[in-house]
Each structure stands twice: as structure tokens, then as C-alpha cells.
Amino acid sequence: DRTNGQLIAAHPFVNQNWAKYIDLKTGKPVLTDLLDRAVKGETIDLAPRLGTNATLSAYNPKTGLLFLNSWELVRVMKFVDVELKVGAGYTGIETSSKFPKPAGYHIAMNPLTGKTAWKIPLHDFAVSAGTLATGGGLLFTGKLTGEFVALDQDTGKQLWQFQTGSSVNAPPITYTHKGVQYVTILSGRGGSNPTRSAGDIVPAGGSVWTFALISE
């Protein structure tokens, strides 16, 4: 609740195995046995490693839908004893990642009920970019492989795309000038997850693209 900060809903939007549910009274997760198994020395698959990137998700107050890009990334981890050395970093865990297929999804969901309106699989790479929902029913986002895309908010169908030349990790922005609406996006691969995922096939790049929304 934006007026008082009270938690009113907490629904999962990715596959996860560490919490049974979130207690709405306390705001705390009710854990599965995963942590206990890890403490006992078992190697565990923790899902998700991250559910979505730090970039913005979009909300349409007219439809009540939240639009986001998910990561179905799994962390394989085991607690280990560490010999402390001055100046050396340590975490106390051995860790690696699993990249399931699909790697993630474009998702439209009702955050109050947890009901998914649509879910579009991302087979090659998950998406780090933010989302932008317009009043005209368009949803803009980008992909690690360089495409800046427009989706139909009602169905998730892709309506348009433009190849920017590098990964799109940023959130789109929109504004009007002299009665015309524009959408702007930054392109340029960066960050640890995009670089690990698509660094071998996507150049680093670095560009800004602006598009006008023209009425037919």
C-alpha cells in the first residue's frame, strides 16, 4: 500500500524453491528446507539466482497489469570452510550457475492476485532491459541480442523491432515534444550477467536511439 507501506501481496513470478510463501503480517518469507540442507553441507540448487534485473518494470493503472522481464537463473552452491588470508576475497561458498531453457520470460501479471495474463518465453537469453508501458497499449523493452521491441500489452505479441547493434540493458523512457510522443533507449552491452551471457556474440557498442510514435 503506497499510502502506508503495508504489504498487501507477495506472489512469485519465477520458479523458486527457497520460500513456501511470504507472511503478509510480518513481511518475512516462510522458508523451505533448502537453507537447512545447505547448512548441513549439501550442494543445493537455489532458484532463482535472480528473478529479474535491477532495471524498472512497468505498471498500467488502467488494466492493473505489471510488465517485467524474468530470469530463470539457478545458483548451485555449497557452504565451505575458508582459510582467511589478508587481502584476499572470500565468500564461504562454492558457487556456479545453471542456465535453464527458457532462460526467462516477458511477463504480464496482476501483482495483487498473482495471476499471469501472458508469458512469452525467451529461448536464447534472458532480458536485462526494463519495460515501458504506454497509454496506447504498447510495451517497449529490449534484448541482449540488440533488438529494441514493441509488444502488445494485451497479448504479448511482438509488433515491431529495431536492431540497435548491441545489448539493450536499460529501461526505455518516453516524452512528448511539440505534440509528438517519443521513445528513447540506450544500447550498449555492460554488466556481469549480460557480458557472461552474450559477450561472445554481441559487441560492446554504445548508442542512443529515439523513435517517434506516429498515429496512422
* Helix H or strand E encompassing 198: helix 192-198
Phi, psi of 37 (to 5 degrees): -65, -40
Point out the least confidently predicted range of 28-32, 94-98, 110-114.
Answer: 94-98
Q: What digits encode the pLDDT tens for the residues 33-87?
A: 999 999 999 999 999 888 888 888 999 999 999 999 999 889 999 999 888 889 9
Q: Is residue 190 scored above 80 in pLDDT?
A: no
Handedness of CA 105, 108, 111, 116 (dihedral sign): negative
**Is pLDDT above 90 for 116?**
yes
> What CATH code would you report for 19-213?
2.40.128.630
3-state secondary structure of 193: helix
pTM: 0.88
Q: Specify the pLDDT at position 17.
A: 95
How confident is the model at residue 196, as a pLDDT?
Answer: 61
Task: Please give the Cα distance from 30 to 27 (Å, whole number).
Answer: 10
* Distance of alpha carbon 189 from alpha carbon 212, whole angstroms: 24
